[in-house]
Structure 1
Amino acid sequence: MRQVKPLGLFGKMARQSRFSEDAEAIKALSGHIAAHERARIAQYLRAAPVIIALTGYTEDVIGGKFSVTGGSAIHSDGTYYWRRDTAEYVETYGTQLPPEFMEHGTKKGWRTPSLTSEEIMEIDDFFMDLRRRQGSADGCRPGTT
């Protein structure tokens, strides 16, 4: 089973109402990525394979500047995972991402790695195991409380 790391606040598997509880923390991260770097980082985030497809509709929790169909879907580059709408926060607000992720992306030239079907299934297995472990610990699925 391939384990992946959450991308800071954007690694939460949560409904929009739960995610919006972090609005102030996300706002505090705004303005940390230079304008000329935002598009390529956002493209990296968007180009990574979807591991968990969710059809929910998300809205910008900071300033209402965007909305994203499937915004809570989970993408992964094989090392990290994040919500689909992370790209919009980076592009719109220059939202800071964890330094280790920024180093990781820079080393890759912000070219999203290709994942095989087997690798994607291994990551999916990781999430299934995570869901089982969290569900047995608190009696619910991740992001539903």
Structure 2
Amino acid sequence: MKIAGFFHELWAPCFGRAAGRVRDFTRPTPYEDAKKITEYLLAGHDIFSVMGSSEDVLGSGKAVLGGDSILSDNEWIWRGDLWFYVWTYHVQLPEEFLERVRGDDYRPLAENEPQLVEIARYVQANL
């Protein structure tokens, strides 16, 4: 299991070493397929759902509903607000993750219940 958008401000240190700060991964232009990437992020399987909203860590004053939730595609996990950072700030994602997203034609694979249960246990143990 890997973390997409593993940024210092968004994940607890117990999940491992973050790639860096969100601001360091912003891009001047969006991905050509940014809409499809954000749709993929929004369509992930729920691993850990959090009611409420998370504030934009880059200071726009906006809040993202369910931003602290965690989703998965059976291999990668990401926060519920990652789509916002990709869409708003054109945040760069790991190339390996983008290859999977594009290779799966922007649709998360069907739920693999045993794999998702294992991921959920990992997430809960580290929260």
With normalisation by structure 2, the TM-score equals 0.78
Cα distance in 1, alignment partners of residues 77 and 43 from structure 2? 12
Cα distance in 2, alignment partners of residues 32 and 108 from structure 1? 26
Deviation at residue 67 of structure 1 after TM alignment: 1.1
Deviation at residue 96 of structure 1 after TM alignment: 0.4
Letter in 1 for 2:79: R
Q: Number of paired residues? A: 120
Match of 1:81 in 2: 77
Deviation at residue 114 of structure 1 after TM alignment: 2.2
Say whether residues 1:124 and 2:117 are aligned partners. yes
Letter in 2 for 1:108: D
Cα distance in 1, alignment partners of residues 108 and 123 from structure 2? 24
Task: Considering fraction of residues, name the structure with more helix.
Answer: 1
Match of 1:64 in 2: 60
SS in 2 for 1:43: helix
Note the aligned Cα RMSD (angstroms).
2.6
Q: Which whole-Å deviations, capped at 9, do the CAs of 1:12-65 have from their partners, x for residues lacking one?
A: 654xxxxxxx8x710111116635421110000001111111114201111325
Deviation at residue 121 of structure 1 after TM alignment: 5.1
Match of 1:28 in 2: 24
Structure number with bigger Rg: 1
Distance 1:37 1:65, change over 3 A: farther
Distance 1:92 1:129, change over 3 A: closer
**Of 9, 15, 24, which residue of structure 1 is paired with 2:6?**
9
Q: Which runs of 5+ in 2 are unaligned?
A: 13-17
Distance 1:79 1:125, change over 3 A: closer
Q: Which whole-Å deviations, capped at 9, do the CAs of 1:84-132 have from their partners, x for residues lacking one?
A: 00000001111001110011111112122221xxx23542333325644
Match of 1:51 in 2: 47
Say whether residues 1:102 and 2:95 are aligned partners. no
Cα distance in 1, alignment partners of residues 30 and 84 from structure 2? 14
- Contact residue 25 and residue 91 of structure 2 kept, 8 A: yes
Cα distance in 1, alignment partners of residues 105 and 115 from structure 2? 25
Kindly, what percent of the aligned residue pairs are identical? Answer: 28
Match of 2:34 in 1: 38
- Contact residue 32 and residue 96 of structure 1 kept, 8 A: no
